[in-house]
Structures are given as C-alpha cells and as structure tokens.
Structure 1
Amino acid sequence: MSDEGIMQFPCRFPLKVMGPAVPEFSERVAEIVERHAPGTPDDAYSRRPSSGGRYLAITVVVEARSQAQLDALYRELNACELVTMVL
C-alpha cells in the first residue's frame, strides 16, 4: 500500500454535494471545485433537484491528484454555508 492509501492517483473521483435549490448554490460549488480542481469541465457536473424542488444534488467528477487535494476540497465544501452535505 502506498502513502496515498488504497486509491491510485491521478483518478476520476465523483463528489455529490447537496444544498438548497438556489442559483448561488451551484455557483458556489463550482467556485470551490475550480479552486481545488482547476479546469474541471462543465460536462463533469450533473444536477438533480429533489422531488419537492427545495434541494439540489450536484454530482461533479474531478480529476483527483492526491488525497490531500480531496481532503481540502471536502473541507472547503463542508465549510460553505450553502452546503448541506457532501458525499
């Protein structure tokens, strides 16, 4: 096992981010992702509203270079006041 654990980097890594269905949520998630995984294309994102339309789930597949990069991305997403949950 390497220092990076069981994952081999670089790799494509999906993140699911949930929050309110407001325009600022999508924008904020994209800004945070761009800081940690620059150049993530628009087609790496998919969005799905909740059945009641109050929440939005954004799945983004990033090109992960290290566990440290993913950890920093998770920390910043979780610290965002608009983010309800990150999986």
Structure 2
Amino acid sequence: MKNKLHELIKFPCNFTYKVIGMAHPELVDKIIRVIQLQIPGDYAPVVKKSNRGNYLSISITIFASNINQIEHLYYELSRINIVRIVL
C-alpha cells in the first residue's frame, strides 16, 4: 500500500485528513496539537456536526513533504481517545 500511495501522490503536496470524533469541545484542539508537533503552521479546520450532534467531522489540510508524514499523522490522530475514524 505504501508504494502504491507514494506512486499516486507527488510530494510536496497538500493533503487533507477527515477526522470523525466525539462532539467534545477539545477535539479540534487535540487534532491541531498533534499536527503541530509534526508540521508546525496555521491551520483552518472545517468543522461539521452530525445530525444528532453526537459527532464532529473535522477536515484539515496539511502540506506534506513525504509519505512518512502522512502515515505518521494517520497513526497519531487515530490515537486521540475521542477520535473514532481518520480518513
């Protein structure tokens, strides 16, 4: 999979993550904190609530230099205790 993804993406590039998690006020801050540790910068996440308001969908775009950054952030974002899915 790593080789396939590397073939499809030309680096450096913008890469958007979609993170779905519990609708807690600190979710967005936790996501940005994890990203800032790897790739410092200013981020403008797009936040949407689910119909019942139990979940938040956060789309956030980073500027990735290589495939390792993308894979590492997938792993780190998924480790946030209130995150349910990272796409």
Provide TM-score, normalisation by structure 1: 0.88
Residues 12-31 of structure 1 aligned to structure 2 (within 5 Å):
12-31=14-33
Alpha-carbon offset, residue 30 of structure 1: 0.9
**Is 1:32 aligned to 2:34, yes or no?**
yes
After superposing on structure 2, the runs of 4+ consecutive aligned residues of structure 1 that deviate more than 6 Å are none
Q: Distance in 1 between matches of 2:82 and 2:64?
A: 23
% identical equivalent positions: 31
RMSD: 1.4
Q: Distance in 2 between matches of 1:48 and 1:37?
A: 24
Q: Distance in 2 between matches of 1:6 and 1:25?
A: 30
Q: Secondary structure at the match of 1:80?
A: coil
Match of 2:86 in 1: 86
Alignment-mate amino acid for residue 74 of structure 2: Y
Match of 1:67 in 2: 67
Alpha-carbon offset, residue 42 of structure 1: 3.4
The answer for unaligned runs of 5 or more in structure 1 is none
Question: CA-to-partner distance for each residue in 1:18-41, whole Å, 9 max, x for gaps?
Answer: 1011112111111011112211x2
The answer for unaligned runs of 5 or more in structure 2 is none
Alignment-mate amino acid for residue 17 of structure 1: V
Provide TM-score, normalisation by structure 2: 0.88
